[in-house]
């Protein structure tokens, strides 16, 4: 089962490559249990981590940084851990194999199209990053060419040549990023071929994914995670559900089939736009989407005296805010299902929720990132009646 990676040391992403998959799963379980020790009520309620049958090449999204080697040849890969030096990557054990091939093709095309790679120090050159996203269920493939300038002289011929080499590609987008920070995508983009987005299917729902929208990178495990989250909510069809940090609407849309209505909130405007389309595409009419900061939105709901039966929340790595958690308790949901990609911020937030009257009952873990140190958990909490204290 073990595989070797030539870039393991320099890249530093796959911290668990020296272990067996089984050992790694155990390590992740221990990590979550350790971080949640401050919730003694969870003792004896940790369910065995849900691993992958084939934990390789699971990433549906691959980002490559472009640079030149000492001889001036274009290279693409990842930044060496903690630096801005690019390590060339041709194949990666966790990335989608087709995505890696497409990136290799692009690298090979640069010279004949006289496309210069961008130089971070001088600001000279055009191509900065290539992002490939693939819908594993639909087979759709999106290529995003991130350039430093909107002027891309041979873009039509370049796109045609790329499509000829990889007819599997369903859309090509040029994104312009002339900033100097570490964000990959800029604000401006132009569709060079196809629809400008891909679709994928999860838990029987179809989802539109734009270049900048968040979408889980391991769809096989994501289905298990979302199904578990919705199952733990024990919906009967009568509930008002909040889906906070909803991204492109995934969890709330899946849950909507079992609820009266869903109120979904998300900060990223592109994701909200996708979410609204996703509801339509799936013929779902009982979900409303709001583009707002989730904390502020819940505070406003609480001020208006609104109530909710179930709160589904899936915040980013740094977790939720005190404002969000306090307002959440004021809305008085009987259950909170907290999905977390970071056991540290999860532990902190559970501590706050406990003081607000929510008792953590079960912890489920799903391995969404084999060989990488991250682990996803789902916690079900019940309201013990200290609402809003």
User: What residues numbered 54-113 form the site for ligand SAH, per CB under 6 A?
Assistant: none
Q: How far is the CB of 297 from ligand SAH (least distance, A)?
A: 7
Q: Which of 177, 189, 216, 299 binds ligand SAH (CB under 6 A)?
A: 216
If one asks whether residue 8 binds ligand SAH (CB under 6 A), the answer comes out as no
If one asks whether residue 245 binds ligand SAH (CB under 6 A), the answer comes out as yes
The residue number whose beta carbon is nearest to ligand SAH equals 247
The angle formed by the CA atoms of residues 104, 107 and 112, to the nearest 5 degrees, is 130
CA dist., res. 250 & res. 13, Å (int): 27
Please pick, among 92, 205, 246, 341, the residue that the annotation labels catalytic.
341
CA dist., res. 261 & res. 290, Å (int): 14
> What b/e sequence results for 136-163 when a residue is b if at least 16 CB atoms lie within 10 Å of its CB, and e otherwise?
bbeebbbbbbbbbeeebeebeebbebbb
**Of 62-70, 186-194, 243-251, 350-358, which segment contacts ligand SAH by CB under 6 A?**
243-251
If one asks whether residue 343 binds ligand SAH (CB under 6 A), the answer comes out as no
If one asks whether residue 268 binds ligand SAH (CB under 6 A), the answer comes out as yes
**Phi and psi of 15, rounded to 5°?**
-75, -15
- Return the DSSP state at 42: G
CA dist., res. 183 & res. 200, Å (int): 25
- Catalytic-residue membership of 384: no
Q: Is 116 exposed, middle or buried (0-12, 13-18, 19+ CB in 10 A)?
A: middle
Structure-token match 């005190």, residue found = 322
- Return the DSSP state at 228: H
CA dist., res. 317 & res. 250, Å (int): 18
The smaller minimum CB distance to ligand SAH, of residues 24 and 218, is found at: 218
Structure-token match 């019940």, residue found = 382
To which H or E segment does residue 244 belong?
strand 240-244
If one asks whether residue 198 binds ligand SAH (CB under 6 A), the answer comes out as no
Q: How far is the CB of 61 from ligand SAH (least distance, A)?
A: 12
CA dist., res. 233 & res. 256, Å (int): 12
> Count of CB atoms within 10 A of residue 285's CB?
10
CA dist., res. 260 & res. 219, Å (int): 27
**Of 77-85, 112-120, 210-218, 325-333, which segment contacts ligand SAH by CB under 6 A?**
210-218
Q: How far is the CB of 342 from ligand SAH (least distance, A)?
A: 11
**Of 41-49, 155-163, 245-253, 352-360, which segment contacts ligand SAH by CB under 6 A?**
245-253
Q: How far is the CB of 149 from ligand SAH (least distance, A)?
A: 27
Question: Which residue positions form the known binding site for S-adenosyl-L-methionine?
Answer: 216, 245, 266, 314
Q: Which of 266, 270, 274, 349 binds ligand SAH (CB under 6 A)?
A: 266
In total, the chain counts a number of residues equal to: 389
**Of 25-33, 60-68, 116-124, 247-255, which segment contacts ligand SAH by CB under 6 A?**
247-255
Binding mask 274-313 for ligand SAH (x = CB under 6 A): -------------------xx-------------------
The smaller minimum CB distance to ligand SAH, of residues 97 and 293, is found at: 293
**Phi and psi of 63, rounded to 5°?**
-115, 130
Q: How far is the CB of 266 from ligand SAH (least distance, A)?
A: 5
CA 108 to chain centre: 29
Q: Report, as residue numbers or ranges, the catalytic residues.
A: 341
Which residue ranges make up the site for ligand SAH (CB under 6 A)? 214-216, 245-247, 250-251, 265-268, 271, 293-294, 314-316
């Amino acid at each position: 089962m073990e595989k070797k990676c030539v870039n393991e040391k320099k890249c530093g992403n796959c911290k668990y490559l020296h272990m067996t998959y089984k050992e790694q799963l155990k390590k992740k379980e221990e990590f979550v249990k350790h971080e949640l020790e401050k919730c003694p009520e969870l003792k004896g309620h940790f369910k065995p981590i849900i691993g992958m049958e084939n934990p390789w090449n699971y990433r549906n999204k691959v980002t490559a940084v472009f640079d030149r080697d000492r001889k001036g040849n274009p290279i693409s890969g990842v930044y060496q851990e903690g630096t801005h030096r690019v390590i060339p990557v041709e194949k990666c054990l966790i990335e989608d194999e087709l995505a890696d091939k497409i990136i290799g093709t692009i690298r090979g095309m640069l010279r004949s199209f006289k496309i210069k790679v961008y130089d971070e120090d001088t600001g000279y050159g055009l191509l900065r990053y290539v992002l490939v996203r693939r819908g594993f269920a639909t087979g759709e493939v999106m290529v995003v060419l991130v350039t430093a300038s909107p002027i891309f002289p041979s873009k039509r011929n370049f796109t045609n040549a790329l499509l000829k080499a990889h007819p599997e590609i369903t859309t090509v987008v040029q994104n312009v990023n002339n900033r100097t920070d570490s964000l990959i995508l800029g604000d401006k983009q132009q569709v060079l071929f196809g629809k400008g987005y891909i679709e994928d299917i999860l838990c029987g729902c179809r989802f539109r994914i734009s270049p900048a929208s968040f979408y889980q990178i391991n769809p096989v495990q994501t289905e298990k995670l979302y199904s578990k989250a919705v199952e733990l909510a024990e919906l009967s069809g009568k509930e008002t559900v909040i889906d906070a940090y909803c991204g492109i609407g995934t969890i709330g849309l899946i849950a909507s089939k079992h609820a009266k209505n869903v109120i979904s909130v998300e900060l990223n405007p592109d994701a909200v736009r996708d979410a609204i389309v996703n509801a339509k595409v799936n013929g779902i009419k009982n979900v409303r989407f709001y583009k707002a900061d989730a904390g502020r939105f819940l505070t406003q709901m609480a001020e208006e005296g609104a109530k909710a039966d179930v709160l589904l929340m899936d915040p980013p790595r740094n977790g939720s805010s005190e404002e969000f958690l306090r307002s959440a308790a004021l809305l008085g949901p009987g259950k909170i299902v907290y999905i977390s990609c970071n056991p540290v911020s999860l532990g902190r937030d559970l501590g706050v929720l406990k003081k607000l009257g929510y008792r953590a009952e079960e912890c489920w873990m799903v391995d969404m990132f084999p060989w990488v140190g991250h682990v996803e958990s789902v916690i079900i909490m019940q309201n013990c009646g200290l609402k809003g204290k």
